[in-house]
Amino acid sequence: MGEIVDINHIQLSDRPLLVSDVDDVVLEFLLPFEAYLASLGHHLLPKSFHLTGNIVSLADQRALEEHQVKQILHDFFDRQEDWQRPFGDSVNQLKQLGSMADVVFLTAMPPAYTQQRRRLLDQLGLDFPLLATESPKGPVVKALHRGRSLPLAFMDDMAHNLHSVADHAPDCLLVHIAPQSEIHRFAPKTAPQVIRAEDWSAACTTIVAHFNRAKTPTS
């Protein structure tokens, strides 16, 4: 079931709400993680949409065990400030969205590394609230929105997170953005109601249109 996510410190205004994932949405993950692997003498050789089984040692081409992959991933999150950079034009587009809506970051990451991510986002001027959890995202988004009548949007690179939010917040606009990479060829497909954005400009246009439609009076 995952840990309990404390959202009590997050105060929303009477504006629309955008909830956004971070890795490979706001910050690059895959490219810097591959660079980090190379620094350790490893390589990502995708045969499926998983890290375990697809990270091999350059010395003998053996796949790393699950516990080794987990430790490397945790070490990367511990050092994320040295490796991760903005994903596309995320910084400028998020600042634009933040002028018209509340923004909350919901990152799929062990909560122990929240402070490292907080510092990195703050360095980029992205001081929006941050929640780190390994729990399903749908219930968290539902709890954040609290049944308000204001428009809601959610961005993520993972189909299962988008579908989780769809199950718990059916009126939410779902936007899928992800890097173009070899491993993403194996990624599960998103449901028909999920909108694919090729880049942050397209994502921002879609979200702004969704928020503005809610302001338009109906006859």
Chain segment 42-74, per-residue pLDDT in tens: 999 999 999 999 999 999 999 999 999 999 999
Q: What is the mean pLDDT of residues 156-166?
A: 98
Helix 90-98 crosses helix 200-213 at what angle (to 10 degrees)?
10
Q: What is the pLDDT of residue 213?
A: 84
User: Tokens at residue 3, please?
Assistant: 């840990």
Mean confidence (pLDDT) of the chain: 94
pLDDT at 28 over 50: yes
Q: What is the pLDDT of residue 132?
A: 96
State how far the Cα of 118 lies from the Cα of 6, in Å rounded to an integer. Answer: 16
pLDDT at 215 over 70: no
Q: What is the pLDDT of residue 65?
A: 96
pLDDT at 76 over 70: yes
Q: What is the mean pLDDT of residues 80-100?
A: 97
Cβ–Cβ < 8 Å for 152, 17: yes
Q: What is the mean pLDDT of residues 203-217?
A: 86
Which amino acid is it at 118? R
User: Tokens at residue 58, please?
Assistant: 């350059």
Residue 71's alpha-carbon distances to 9, 74, 142, 205, in angstroms, are 30, 5, 31, 38
Q: Grade residue 219 by pLDDT with cuts at 50, 70 and 90.
A: very low
Q: What is the mean pLDDT of residues 210-218?
A: 72
Residue 43 bridge partners (DSSP): 56
The percentage of residues in the chain with a pLDDT greater than 90, rounded to a whole number, is 92
Q: Grade residue 1 by pLDDT with cuts at 50, 70 and 90.
A: very low
Q: What is the pLDDT of residue 218?
A: 45
Q: Grade residue 2 by pLDDT with cuts at 50, 70 and 90.
A: low
The percentage of residues in the chain with a pLDDT greater than 70, rounded to a whole number, is 96
Segments in 24-88 forming alpha helices (H): 30-39, 66-78, 80-83
Q: What is the pLDDT of residue 147?
A: 84
